[in-house]
Amino acid sequence: MLRRSSRRPGRLKCHGDGAKLGADITTGAVPERAKGDPVLKKMLCAAAIAAAMALPAAEAAQVDAASVEKLKAGAERGDAAAQTALGGCYAAFGLCAGVPRDPAKARLWFEKAAAQGDAEALYNLGVLHAKGRGVPQDPARARALWEEAAAKGHAQAQANLGVMYKDGRGVKKDKAAARQWFGKACGNGFQPGCDQYRRLVESGS
């Protein structure tokens, strides 16, 4: 389901079954064009969840064919939010009716939206590069994309940067930097960021 974040107006929180998703996912700022469109808002959440978790069809939000066509039309017109959402359709098999899983096409649509500065697209592109889906695995490129998304206030991008610095994934371990990024994610309403921040503080890192 979708619910508004009480901490940051203009954002969405995407909540799923904890056994399947593990946590809420907080999207970046919702584009003005998407605020009055429930299908597009649903897809922005689905895109974030699908790209991050690679959920199978049974666990992903189903989008009917008519909504998919509406989404494609918006993406072809150059609407960044629609391009990001369509990328989400291609990121996970069975997410959208009649759309096969195709990481290369997901990357294409995410890139189009990212070129317009869409934070969700930048985040999702980072996921593709981090996991090597449709592109060669490239942690450095993932970090650069997440930094761009994080600068726009994308909470999960901020948390992912925290994980990179905490664990030394593609960067030198830096607990202070990790704590800073987790703190930013927490400030944007992302509970796992709060949990990670608390653990670092309690451990004296």
pTM (2 decimals)?
0.73
**Domain residue ranges of the chain, discontinuous segments joined by +:** 2-147
Report yes or no: 183 and 15 within 8 Å, Cβ to Cβ: no
Q: What is the pLDDT of residue 120?
A: 92
Q: Which of 79-88, 89-98, 173-182, 186-195 has the lowest mean pLDDT?
A: 89-98
Q: Which of 17-31, 38-52, 57-71, 189-203 has the lowest mean pLDDT?
A: 17-31
| Tens-place pLDDT, residues 148-163 | 999 999 999 999 999 9
Q: What is the pLDDT of residue 19?
A: 26
**Mean pLDDT (whole number) for 177-196:** 93
Indicate the residue type of 79.
D
Q: What is the pLDDT of residue 47?
A: 56
Distance CA 15, CA 8 (A): 16
Q: Cα-Cα-Cα-Cα dihedral of 104, 105, 108, 109, to 10°?
A: -140
Closest of 9, 10, 1, 14 to residue 190, by C-alpha: 14
Stronger pLDDT, 61 or 64, i.e. the higher one: 64
Q: What is the pLDDT of residue 149?
A: 96
Average pLDDT taken over every residue of the chain: 77
Classify domain 2-147 at the CATH topology level.
1.25.40
Stronger pLDDT, 151 or 71, i.e. the higher one: 151
